[in-house]
A and B are shown apart, each in its own frame.
Chain A
């Protein structure tokens, strides 16, 4: 099970308006009023939360920031450098996978006199960088200097299940810095975005290759996302395995161990293929490529492609090299195990029983220690079944999230956090099946079966139908479903 290693910095701080020198004038403070849904009671929202981050002006009259600065925003206010007036902004593009967003400010006057910041290249390790933003601990714009410590692929905490190229620096990156530029020679070489608990003098920023990928992606007017090859590559350093694959005993090539269920990939690649080259990058036996002087995971080479493009691969198969062109597409099969944003959770309420799809967001409603306390069946279904026994996996596992108490359901022993197997004999593969199973029933009783052990509960159908409106009214559920 993946564990979140990083925490996202995003706290409320107040910025004073002070005079400063270029290019810092183009750095803004972003105040976000956000409200996220409650996945346990999906028609409800948590209280409005006020938080602040940073951003910077780029060409095209847009402000770049982190996706996590503006997620679930109800209102976004941008404070222009040295200007007391808050400006209303809205999200033009958001990339939750790589934690970037572009904002637009409706008032043209906001950009008057501002010079857009320009982007530089991936900064070399050991070179100096300066972070700019509005972090906690004061009200004025803050600058911190540091060096580039290392460059590699890291998990992006905002999405939780994607890793991209990341630069680590010892320049202080603190809550409130999120979305601010990291500068080198007045050029933006990164967007500050996350830290790691327990590590001092360590911050991470999103480097130019990821930023440029995002900017190229949105050129067609929509953000498509980083494509994935769906290939699990493992080191190939055991001499016997290399000999088995008829490969020379050198440092070239890493082995394909398994594939994600992506049809185009499964058609062209197979386990025990040896990846020799991805795009313009040679793959080493430890599964890395030399990327602009940095040895990083070969995933970085795959991430150079845009959605819909094909990537030339050189593979070693059955004793000889083959060139293939691999179509690169966005993989959404693991969406439920990542943090999801800006899409309200689906649900169906029947006779007080609240059904919703199983997801990481739902599991987090069980509290911080949910990995220890949650029903093991839910964890297995969410993280393992799809990989281990895809034939038995459900398209969208559904849970009985909670029960809104009413005499019709008062005797339920299984009332929450339970994985639904069948309703009225219908196997529940997705939320729509729940609706269909209840609404098409003709028997006197509804029978709801759970995983594991075929435990079940029953509802008197006539009583359930009578109670439905009353329950929705009592608990202020505006609609019985969001599908």
Chain B
């Protein structure tokens, strides 16, 4: 999926170029859909992680669906950093002030409401299909230039993939369509039911949140029993090599997959161990590829069982083969939002964190920072920084602070070209978080700040004058037009 900024831009561009062009003939049900689909305008702050103190204003227009009394369902994508949310019905006319009632970024779902009574008149809730049929005529709907655009789509497959904004893995619907510029919560429908919300597009391929997945979360939320999505934090490999199952002593029919890695959690004993064979998860047999047969979707990857009507903290009953016999263990789903990652997603709805000291800019290493290298960031970002994303946090390195760049000043003469260096210690104190850096800078040694970077083939060490640091920082902030020398979220550490 494109970055929100790029998508927002292309959306407006498309509106400008195709205005007036009609879609396909409206279906019989169009009248009803016109009363259920609304436009959601989001004005938001978009941050540049290369210059974390700068923010651009972005306006995104998405589709919303009336799903209940004063409740509009949309995807959570691009809601972070919002400054003003408005809604419009009928594809034209007045925009009404609105607010986000609930947003769950890991699930990519949000509910929007408005206190404007007149907005709600004439609107009609939609029905979310459960289960999703594969054989109906699928259509994609959206408001375009004041008209309801209806475009055909074809069923491609169900997949199990990682969510856009978290480590949660869940079922997704893949459609093919000639429509372009979608991915902004447009509903996919069959007849008079919504089968999903389009949240991404790659060429003719659309990624859709299937309605049963959406329904299950909305229902749990309404009951007050939605703690967020969970995920499986262990790693497994297929067992298609029969010798592997023989080696592990599995008796009977060849089946299951093999656990190969289980993250260590301080103070707890993991219930799964490397070389366990996963035979069943919540009663579903697991085959040698790692699939189970879902009653609604058919063959799906076992990861879907972490989000199939299960939430963070829920027990999952797992049947394993260990030490020559089948055993049952109860695995508790960790919360996807809190996934222990060395390179995490930056917190939502929060300014990027940074510390500027004497022109040296320090930032936590986050996926958002790496994404600054563009859509192809996994290849274009500095290899050494991007490589950290594959590593687990450890007690020695729970998080990473980098010297991301130096804003040239007489104070930092000689260091101007230092960048993308992993900070290890400041004044002899280990630095994992920006707070550590701040504290360390309070304790200069003999009038100097000594900064040490990760061992490797890049710069290892630099020294700053402690007495003039504050003045230099002020001078840099003024010269570069930066408001704040520090932004640190209280919840980071």
Contact = CB atoms under 8 A, between A and B. Distances in A.
B379 A372 contact: yes
A266 interface: no
Contact of B244 (A234, A239, A458): A458
B260 interface: yes
Interface stretch (A14-22, A196-204, A379-387): A379-387
A455 interface: yes
B260 A456 contact: yes
Contact of B413 (A239, A258, A412, A458): A239
Contacts of A459: 243
B461 A272 contact: yes
Interface string B310-338: 00000000000000000000000000000
Contact of A387 (B261, B390, B413, B457): B457
B462 A238 contact: yes
A241 B462 contact: yes
Chain B binding surface SS class: mixed
B241 interface: yes
B415 interface: yes
Contact of B390 (A234, A411, A452, A455): A452
Nearest to A235: B414
A184 B28 CA distance: 88
Contact of A238 (B241, B415, B454, B455): B415
B242 interface: yes
Given A237-B413, A413-B240, A445 B261 contact: no
B241 A243 contact: no
A271 interface: yes
Given A388-B455, A453-B261, A455-B260, A257 B461 contact: yes
A387 B241 contact: no
A140 B468 CA distance: 68
A271 B456 contact: no
Nearest to B242: A411
Contact of B241 (A237, A372, A411): A411
A454 interface: yes
Contacts of A243: 448, 465
Interface string B233-250: 001011011111011000
A257 B414 CA distance: 14
Contacts of B455: 258, 387-389
B460 A257 contact: yes
A454 B387 contact: no
B55 to A, nearest CB: 32
A240 B242 CA distance: 65
A384 B422 CA distance: 14
B131 interface: no
Interface in B200-250: 235, 237-238, 240-244, 246-247
B480 interface: no
Interface in A379-427: 379-380, 384, 387-389, 411-413
A251 to B, nearest CB: 12
A1 interface: yes
A64 interface: no
B241 A413 contact: yes
Interface in B458-481: 459-465
Contacts of B238: 413
A238 B240 contact: no
A161 B261 CA distance: 36
Interface string B429-469: 00000000000000000001010001111011111110000
A216 interface: no
Contacts of A271: 460-461
B68 interface: no
Q: Which of B413, B450, B457: most chain A Cβ within 10 A?
A: B457
Contacts of A444: 247
Contact of A237 (B235, B260, B414, B464): B414
Nearest to A372: B379
A460 B246 CA distance: 9
A413 B237 contact: yes
Contacts of B240: 411, 413
A373 B75 CA distance: 33
A457 interface: yes
Interface string B365-388: 000000000000001000110110
Contacts of A458: 241, 243-244, 246-247
A269 interface: no
A238 B242 contact: no
B260 A240 contact: no
B460 A238 contact: no
Contacts of B414: 235-238, 241
A206 interface: no
Given A257-B460, A457-B244, A1 B383 contact: yes
Given A240-B465, A388-B454, A454 B243 contact: no
Contact of B456 (A388, A447, A457, A460): A388
Interface string B405-425: 000000011110000000000
Nearest to A236: B414
A326 B234 CA distance: 52
A48 interface: no
Contacts of A453: 235, 260-261
Contact of B243 (A235, A258, A460): A460
A280 interface: no
B23 interface: no
A244 interface: yes
Interface string A208-235: 0000000000000000000000001011
A366 interface: no
A453 B392 CA distance: 11
Q: Which of B235, B243, B274, B414: most chain A Cβ within 10 A?
A: B243
A376 interface: yes
A414 B431 CA distance: 38
A381 to B, nearest CB: 11
A232 B457 contact: yes
Interface in A442-466: 444-445, 447, 452-460
Given A372-B379, A387-B457, A453-B261, A241 B463 contact: yes
Contacts of A454: 260-261, 274
A48 B261 CA distance: 46
B387 A380 contact: yes
A457 B242 CA distance: 10
Interface in B246-290: 246-247, 260-261, 274
Nearest to B417: A235
B432 to A, nearest CB: 17
Given A234-B459, A244-B448, A453-B261, A447 B247 contact: yes
B463 to A, nearest CB: 4
Nearest to B244: A458
A27 B387 CA distance: 50
A470 to B, nearest CB: 18
Contacts of B247: 444-445, 447, 458
B417 to A, nearest CB: 9
Contacts of B457: 232, 258, 384, 387
Interface in A259-309: 271-272
A455 B460 CA distance: 34
6 contacts: A238-B413, A377-B390, A387-B455, A411-B241, A456-B260, A458-B241
Chain A to chain B: the 9 pairs with minimum beta-carbon distance, closest first: A237-B414, A240-B465, A238-B414, A411-B241, A445-B247, A241-B463, A458-B243, A453-B261, A458-B247
Given A238-B413, A380-B383, 5 more contacts: A232-B457, A237-B413, A272-B461, A412-B241, A413-B238
Interface of B: 235, 237-238, 240-244, 246-247, 260-261, 274, 379, 383-384, 386-387, 390, 412-415, 448, 450, 454-457, 459-465
